Structure 1
Amino acid sequence: MAIVVGILCVLVIALLGLVAAFARDRAALQRRLADTQAHVAQLEADLDAALRPPPPTNSAERAVRRVIRTASKVRSHGIAGLIQSTVEDLQTWASDDERADILNMAASDGTVTLFFSDIEDSTPLNDRLGDATWVKVLAAHDRVLRTRIEQYRGQVVKTAGDGFMVAFRDTEAACRAALGIQRDLPRDVTLRRHGPVHVRIGIHTGQVVARDGDYFGRNVAMAARVASVAHGGEILGSDAVREALDDDAAVVLVERDAVELKGLTGEHVVWEILPPG
């Protein structure tokens, strides 16, 4: 009997030891699991931080982010996307000082000359060139436009993809800037190598509503629509542009057939703008 009791005591002690060892192992396993989960969470946070670009520090960076998000939409819908999109879709990327300059472009009655442009058939061109080359083409295109815009004291109101909206105080200056752009584009080394790149430009003069560094109203839509009926390499102006130009303006206007402009009632006379001679 004593032997049996002794054996039972040994078994109980051994069982208690196993239970204690199991409890220790379970606690250690739980600690390792918690450490692993914390490590995974930290790795996920680090990866998310690495993949997430830092917040933009200035208006130009904010503009780049917005343009990247809207570029494909604008390329798909053409210049009309600049008007049909909401203000949130299109970034007014100018600084505070530049916004003031943009608003100062308009006369006291709100009259300003607006210039819209985009690259004709940009989506198939992008597809043919590939994204890496397309970025270089866009950079060269932007450089040509901005050089002439600055020369004739225009102010870029906003850009999206390959589309530009520009304000000029003087109608002739807008026309001469457009003519300079069309001359310079075929001469650019990058565009000559990967082109041809055909840009269509529309110009209109009229009263606009100014707000937060941007322009709104029927005349903004008119300028965009005039650009939309141009072919690549062409500059078209509205009848208001013809009326605003002096008789001795250094441009030639050739009347085109009246056209319908989407969203605007009636037919509208447009003029092709050509260099003198």
Structure 2
Amino acid sequence: MERTVWSDQAATAADVTTLQVFRDLFSRDVLRVGEEISVGSMTLMFTDLRNSTKLYREIGDAPAFGRVRDHFDILEQAVAAEGGSVVKTMGDSVMAAFREPASALRAIWNVQKEISQRGSPPLFIKVGIHHGPCIVVNLNDRLDYFGSTVNVAARLSHFSVGGELILSESIRSDPEVTGFLEKNALPNSISRFQGELRGFEEAMDLWKIKL
């Protein structure tokens, strides 16, 4: 009986690696360099600011950097509020991880709503979200994810022109995601299309959600 209760309450590798505080405190201690573990299925989100280079040119380096920095702060707070974590930043792009698809959707929905109302010109994010199996490794004292799921998620945002979410079928078919979109998405804001991803032979069924 005691062993059953403990098992029900035990945190999985997927659970703890999506907690920001765990990543901040224990990334270098969890895995030795070169080790890898499977964490089962994860929800991975990649974001990129639209026309950030143009923003620097239009309003100047210091103001533009301030806007970009604010966008990072808003995104990090929204991700953490949904139990996710920021895995890494790359320029003005972000990779984040969540346990559940709907958590990623709620987080980025709130981010786009907030940053579009701050300052001028308004900022818009290109977003791709995918769910599937991956592995976690210790890379440069940071826990990072690798595998086909990561590759797909990273490429999805390329189909967005900003202010749009690109969802894979594994995200769109999630019941909680469906319920969220039925409640929050505008009429005629959801469309289905087939996208060809670099490095993948077959086109994928994808969904575009206008925010």
TM normalised by structure 2 equals: 0.73
Partner of 1:198: 124
Displacement of 1:220 after TM fit?
A: 0.4
Tell me if the contact between 1:175 and 1:251 (Cα under 8 Å) persists in the aligned partners. no
Partner of 1:159: 89
Q: Distance in 1 between matches of 2:191 and 2:109?
A: 17
Which residue, out of 49, 57, 76, partners 1:146? 76
Matched, 1:119 2:49: yes
* Partner AA of 1:257 in structure 2: F
Larger Rg: 1
Partner of 1:177: 107
Tell me if the contact between 2:105 and 2:177 (Cα under 8 Å) persists in the aligned partners. no
Displacement of 1:96 after TM fit?
A: 4.1
Relative to total residues, which structure has the larger helix share, 1 or 2?
1
Displacement of 1:121 after TM fit?
A: 1.8
DSSP 3-state at the match of 2:173: helix
Gaps of at least 5 residues in structure 2 are 1-22, 31-37
How many residue pairs were aligned? 173
Which residue, out of 161, 172, 176, partners 1:231? 161
Q: Distance in 2 between matches of 1:217 and 1:245?
A: 25
Partner of 2:9: none
DSSP 3-state at the match of 1:110: strand
RMSD: 2.4
What is the aligned-residue identity percentage? Answer: 31
Matched, 1:249 2:182: no
Relative to total residues, which structure has the larger strand share, 1 or 2?
2
Deviations 1:39-79 (A, max 9, x none): xxxxxxxxxxxxxxxxxxxxxxxxxxxxxxxxxxxxxxxxx
TM normalised by structure 1 equals: 0.57
* Partner AA of 2:124 in structure 1: H
DSSP 3-state at the match of 2:116: helix
Sort the Cα spacing of 1:270 and 1:156 in 2 relative to 1 into closer, same or farther, 3 A.
Answer: same
Gaps of at least 5 residues in structure 1 are 1-93, 102-107
Sort the Cα spacing of 1:222 and 1:247 in 2 relative to 1 into closer, same or farther, 3 A.
Answer: closer
DSSP 3-state at the match of 1:249: helix
Tell me if the contact between 1:198 and 1:233 (Cα under 8 Å) persists in the aligned partners. yes
Sort the Cα spacing of 1:248 and 1:115 in 2 relative to 1 into closer, same or farther, 3 A.
Answer: closer
* Partner AA of 2:83 in structure 1: R
Sort the Cα spacing of 1:120 and 1:249 in 2 relative to 1 into closer, same or farther, 3 A.
Answer: same
Partner of 1:269: 205
